[in-house]
Amino acid sequence: MVDITHKNTTLRTAIAQATVKVSKPETIEAIKNNTVPKGHVFAMSKAAGLLGVKRTPDILPDCHPLPIEFTGVEYEIDGLDIHVIFTVKTIYKTGVEVEAMHGASVVALNMYDMLKPIDKGIEIHAIKLLKKKGGKSDFKNKFRKDLTAAVVVCSDSISAGHKEDKAGKAIIEKLKTCEVTVSEYVIIPDELESIQNKVKSYENMGIDMVIYTGGTGLSGRDVTPEALIPILDRRIPGIEEAIRNYGQQRMPYAMLSRSVAGTIGSTLVIALPGSTNGAKESMDAIFPSVQHVFGVLRGARHD
């Protein structure tokens, strides 16, 4: 199956439709009057759909097992057409489009099975997705597409040439996928004054975001938070919480990270862990959603 471990959990909704076409008005009347020999068509078909949607990953090999947290079945009669409207909701990392379409198809098949003794001309038409909501495409940054970033690696050993930087490069790769231009990439030692001077110069240059990696741990030389917090205009605790929560779900030591996020003027400043995995997972936790901040800073409404 596709790896979804890097994705964030969000509320996902999918609405699918299947159309059952009967061949005579008497069939519609039998359904309405509950005179179909096999029983109540709408109620039994709904029950079949509820059972079927839960079995979707058992039938389709690439579907992820996921919690089905709401299922709704509605019927619309239009002449000889009966439209099955099937809604599925979950709070998970991947969408429920296939589950909704599978559920709608099971409802339609059960209706066919119940009605075939009284109508030999039944057809099933147009099993299709009507709407989906809650995935990455719904949370794309709707504002500026010309954002710039500076990536600053804080490390005594890397700046001295004893180690190779991988965390900063992982951050740059993520920024590229989010269509953010990396204007600066530098490596500096773990010195409080150097850290402060860098962010001040980038803010004066009009860089949109400055992302630090390294110096957020608990060793004596880890001073990135101490350097940044006093000069931030405002902290953004939600970003910090999202980073630690995402990391904690993946390894137990994430709680020890002192990641920081805030603004200086209209520049977003974020300090991430110095490990490659820590930096990469932190970026996965907040991008591209964090780009919404640049619309908010300029007075755009929260959608």
Q: Catalytic: 222?
A: no
The residue behind tokens 């803010």 is: 203
Catalytic residue among 3, 58, 78, 113: 113
Are 278 and 244 spatial neighbours (Cβ–Cβ below 8 Å)? no
DSSP string, 78-125: ETTEEEEEEEEEEEESS--HHHHHHHHHHHHHHHHHHHTTT-TT-EEE
Q: Residue 274 class from Cβ within 10 Å (0-12 exposed, 13-18 middle, 19+ buried)?
A: buried
Structure tokens that stand for 69 in this block: 């947290």
Going by C-alpha positions, the residue among 105, 78, 90 that lies closest to residue 14 is 90
Task: Name the helix (H) or strand (E) containing 127.
Answer: strand 123-133
Are 278 and 123 spatial neighbours (Cβ–Cβ below 8 Å)? no
β-pair partners for 70: 89
- Beginning with the edge strand found earlier in the chain, give each strand of the sheet holding 10-21 in spatial order: 70-78, 81-92, 10-21, 123-133
* Crossing angle for the helix pair 167-177 and 276-286, to the nearest 10 degrees: 20
Distances (CA, A) of 107 to 30, 114, 120: 18, 11, 18
Q: How far apart are CA 177 and CA 168, in angstroms?
A: 15
Distances (CA, A) of 165 to 121, 152, 277: 68, 11, 12
**Known catalytic residues?**
113
